[in-house]
Structure 1
């Protein structure tokens, strides 16, 4: 089945997302491990991804864990350092698809405020033909409604979508809807897939 449009996840596909690495560098791996064991930082981030206020959620968590308040505040004050750097070849692939006239969509779990922070830092975010961001929609992967929303609003048949994401559960949810999928483990593999699908040639995918 041919591909009519390519759908990109953002975190760990177009930009790196590595809070643990950031905290390892700031406070050391041992203290970071203790922090993440004591404080549900990822659960807080999931609430932000569902549209809750970024500053409010981080500060509420800091108030609930005063012994870790300074470290928790870093999640807000230096968030962009956790969502860095850009993965340059992925951005080149996205732009090459656009140059070929292939529609490109974003399907990403991302907070409202954090998405705006990232949009300022990464011009590639402006390249998408349509954005499906969990914080704005108040629905997230891997739940079916966000995939259905993309199908409905783009008008592209599920079997003609090629979706790349770094998380196996998100890929499985897309595949269950009939989407074509590529489990992202690096831009080289995605480039190979796009060439194999006839969406780009070797030079365009370089």
Structure 2
């Protein structure tokens, strides 16, 4: 079945999301490894993605680990440096789909506060036909509920949706519902997938 809507994850699909890379630059790889081993920073970020207050959650976590207080606060104070740069070829695919009148949705684990920062920095985030942002929904991928709520809201069946994400667990959860899926490993492969579904010409990007 040809997809009737295309769904993009955002982090590492449209925008690079590499906190470890930022910390390697800021504090050095050895200290970064030590901090990440001691502090569940990605778990902290998941709480933000579920809707907890961005600054309060980061700063509260920093107080729990005083030896890393300044470094943990960087997650808030320098967040945009972790969520950068955009992936221009993926943005071009998003725009090419929209130019052809194909509905394009976002389904992303993103906090309320962090999405506001990202939207100001990356205007293309306003170009989706529908946006499903976990912080506003109170649930994150790969929880089945977030996929079910997208289906209910957009009115399309699972089989009519084509979804790309860089995380295999998120892809597996979508596939289990019957979505058509593509594990994102780079914009070239995603372009090939879209062409294979007859949605775009490969030369479009």
TM-score by length of 2: 0.99
Unaligned runs of 5+ in 2: none
Cα shift readout 1:82-115 (whole Å, capped 9, x = no counterpart): 0000000000000000000000000000000000
Residues 28-107 of structure 1 mapped to structure 2, 5 A cutoff? 28-107=28-107
Partner of 1:23: 23
Gapped runs of 5+ residues in structure 1? none
Post-superposition offset of 1:163? 0.2
1:171 and 2:171 correspond: yes
CA distance in 2, matches of 1:143, 1:67: 34
Number of residue pairs matched by the alignment: 205
SS of alignment partner, residue 203 of structure 1 = helix
Partner of 2:154: 154
Displacement of 1:184 in angstroms is 0.2
Distance in 2 of aligned mates of 1:49 and 1:202: 34
2:140 equivalent in structure 1: 140
- For 1:142 and 1:203, the matched residues in 2 are separated by 33
Q: Output the aligned Cα RMSD.
A: 0.6
1:203: Cα distance to partner? Answer: 2.6
- Name the structure 2 match of 1:13: 13
CA distance in 2, matches of 1:57, 1:70: 14
Give the CA deviation at 1:160. Answer: 0.9
Secondary structure of 2:200's aligned partner: coil
User: What secondary structure does 1:164 align onto?
Assistant: strand
How far did 1:157 drift?
1.1
